[in-house]
C-alpha cells in the first residue's frame, strides 16, 4: 500500500503542478483575455485575482521563522502533545501564521481589505434597521435597483455575513483594523474544528498527522482578513458539532451538539449561496458517526434559521435567481468558460497548496483501507462539493477565497501520504504560501 500511495501521490502532485502551470501560461501564450480584474488585463496574474508585486514587510521575518520552526518541530509536536495542548499550540501557531502573512503588507494587510468599498463593513456601519435591511435586500441586488444596488460582495451573498459585520459594528469592533483582527482570530480556529471533527469520528491519528498541513496552509494568504474565512469556520464548527453529537447520540449533550451543528450550518447557508453544498459533507459526517437518528434534529435546527430569515423578510430562493441575473450582467459574461472551468481548479490548487493534489492521489490509493475510511469519505465529500460548485459556473475567477470552506476537507488527504512525504510536503506548502504572499498582490 505504501508504494502504491507513493505513486498515486506523485501522480496527483504532477497533475496539480501541470494544471497550475497551464492556468498561468495559457492566457499570455494564446492571447486569451480572461479578465481577472475589470478593465485591467496587462500585468494581472491569472488564475488569481491579483498581479505581480515583489514585497517584504514586518511579517516577513516571523513568517519565515515560523516556517523553519514548523519544519523542525511540527510533526513531533502533533504526534506527542496531549490532545488539548495540541489544540492550544495549533491555535497559537495558526494565529501567528495568519497575522505574519497578512503583515507582509504592513498594517494595511489586516485593515485594507475589509475597508474596501466592495466589502461588508462600510454598508454594515450604515445599518440601523435590520428588519428594513432584510426586507429590501433582494430588491437591491440588481444593477438597475431604483434605491441603488448593493456593493458586489453584499449583492453576491445572502445577508448572514453582512449581519455578522453589523454585529461587530454594534459592539464597537467595526473599525477596519478591529474587524480584521476579529476575522483572523476566528479563522485561526478552523484547523481546530476540522481536527476535532476527524478525532470525534475515530480518526485521531489522522487528525494529528494532518494538523501541520491544516494550520500552516497556503490558504492562510487568502483567509487572514477574508469574510469567506468566517464562512469556512462556521461550516467547520458545524461539522465538529455533528461529529461530537455522534459520540453520544442518545444523550442530551449529543442532542444539544446536533442542534448546535444544525444552527451553524443553517446560518452558513445564509452567508453564501454556495454553502448548501456543505450538506454533502454533513451527510458524510453523520454517516461516519452512524448517527442518523440525529439528522432530523440538525435539519430542524437549520430550518429554524431559515424560518427566522424568511420571517424577517429575506427569502433565499427568491434572492438567488436575482443574483444569477446580476452575475451574468456583469464581468462574468466576459470571462471565458473554456478557461475558467478548469482554471478555477488551478486557483484552488494555489490556495490550498499543490500538496493537496498529492493528498488526493494518496486518498484514491487508500480507498480500500478500512483504517483510512474517515479521511477517504470526508475527502470524497469535499471533492464532490468542489465539482458541483465548479459545474455551477457561478464563480468565474476570484475563487481563491471562495474555495476556503472546502480546502481544509481536501487537505485531509495529506494525512494518507507516506511518511517520507511529510517533511518535504510541508516544506512545499510553506514555500507556496511564502512565495504567493511575497511575489503577488492577491487582493484579499
pLDDT of 443 above 80: no
Domain boundaries, given as residue ranges, for the chain: 2-441
**pTM score:** 0.96
Segment holding 441, helix H or strand E: strand 440-441
pLDDT of 297 above 80: yes
pLDDT of 198 above 70: yes
What's the rounded mean pLDDT across residues 320-338? 91
pLDDT tens per residue across span 151-162: 999 999 999 999
Residue 152, classified by CB atoms within 10 Å of its CB into exposed (0-12), middle (13-18) or buried (19+), is middle
pLDDT at 40: 52
Residues ≥6 apart with Cβ < 8 Å to 381: 280, 281, 283, 284, 409
Residue 145 to residues 138, 220, 307, 326, Cα–Cα distance (Å): 9, 36, 26, 11
**Lowest-pLDDT range, 8-12, 242-246, 395-399?**
395-399
Asked if residue 442 lies in contact with residue 222, where contact means CB atoms within 8 angstroms, the answer is yes
State the average pLDDT for the chain: 95
Length of the chain: 444
pLDDT at 395: 87
pLDDT tens per residue across span 7-40: 999 999 999 999 999 999 999 999 888 987 654 5
Amino acid at each position: 500500500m505504501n508504494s502504491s500511495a507513493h505513486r498515486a501521490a506523485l501522480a496527483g502532485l504532477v497533475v496539480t503542478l501541470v494544471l497550475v502551470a497551464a492556468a498561468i501560461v495559457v492566457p499570455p501564450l494564446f492571447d486569451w483575455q480572461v479578465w481577472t480584474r475589470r478593465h485591467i488585463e496587462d500585468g494581472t496574474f491569472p488564475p488569481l485575482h491579483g498581479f505581480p508585486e515583489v514585497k517584504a514587510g514586518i511579517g516577513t521575518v516571523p513568517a519565515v521563522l515560523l516556517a523553519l520552526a514548523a519544519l523542525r518541530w511540527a510533526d513531533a509536536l502533533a504526534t506527542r502533545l496531549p490532545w488539548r495542548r495540541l489544540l492550544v499550540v495549533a491555535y497559537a501557531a495558526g494565529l501567528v501564521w495568519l497575522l505574519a502573512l497578512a503583515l507582509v503588507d504592513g498594517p494595511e494587510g489586516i485593515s485594507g481589505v475589509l475597508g474596501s468599498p466592495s466589502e461588508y463593513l462600510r454598508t454594515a456601519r450604515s445599518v440601523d434597521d435590520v428588519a428594513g435591511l432584510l426586507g429590501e435586500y433582494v430588491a437591491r441586488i440588481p444593477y438597475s435597483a431604483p434605491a441603488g444596488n448593493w456593493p458586489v460582495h453584499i449583492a453576491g451573498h445572502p445577508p448572514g455575513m453582512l449581519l455578522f459585520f453589523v454585529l461587530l459594528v454594534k459592539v464597537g469592533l467595526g473599525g477596519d483594523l478591529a474587524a480584521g483582527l476579529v476575522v483572523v482570530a476566528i479563522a485561526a480556529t478552523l484547523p481546530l474544528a476540522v481536527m476535532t471533527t476527524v478525532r470525534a469520528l475515530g480518526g485521531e491519528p489522522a487528525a494529528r498527522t494532518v494538523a501541520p498541513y491544516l494550520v500552516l496552509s497556503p490558504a492562510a494568504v487568502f483567509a487572514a482578513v477574508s469574510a469567506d474565512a468566517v464562512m469556512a469556520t462556521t461550516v467547520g464548527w458545524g461539522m465538529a458539532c455533528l461529529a461530537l453529537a455522534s459520540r453520544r447520540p442518545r444523550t442530551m449533550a449529543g442532542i444539544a451538539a446536533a442542534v448546535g451543528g444544525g444552527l451553524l450550518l443553517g446560518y452558513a447557508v445564509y452567508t453564501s449561496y454556495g454553502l448548501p453544498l456543505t450538506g454533502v459533507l454533513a451527510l458524510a459526517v453523520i454517516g461516519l458517526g452512524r448517527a442518523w437518528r440525529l439528522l432530523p434534529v440538525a435539519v430542524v435546527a437549520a430550518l429554524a434559521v431559515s424560518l427566522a430569515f424568511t420571517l424577517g423578510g429575506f427569502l433565499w430562493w427568491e434572492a438567488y435567481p436575482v443574483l444569477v441575473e446580476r452575475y451574468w450582467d456583469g464581468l462574468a459574461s466576459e470571462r471565458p468558460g473554456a478557461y475558467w472551468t478548469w482554471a478555477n481548479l488551478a486557483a484552488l490548487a494555489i490556495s490550498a497548496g499543490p500538496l493537496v493534489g498529492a493528498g488526493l492521489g494518496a486518498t484514491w490509493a487508500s480507498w480500500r483501507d478500512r483504517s483510512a475510511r474517515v479521511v477517504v469519505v470526508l475527502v470524497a465529500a469535499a471533492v464532490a462539493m468542489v465539482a458541483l460548485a465548479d459545474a455551477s459556473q457561478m464563480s468565474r475567477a476570484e475563487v481563491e477565497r471562495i474555495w476556503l470552506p472546502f480546502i481544509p476537507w481536501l487537505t485531509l488527504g495529506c494525512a494518507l501520504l507516506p511518511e517520507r512525504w511529510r517533511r518535504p510536503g510541508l516544506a512545499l506548502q510553506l514555500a507556496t504560501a511564502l512565495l504567493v504572499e511575497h511575489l503577488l498582490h492577491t487582493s484579499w
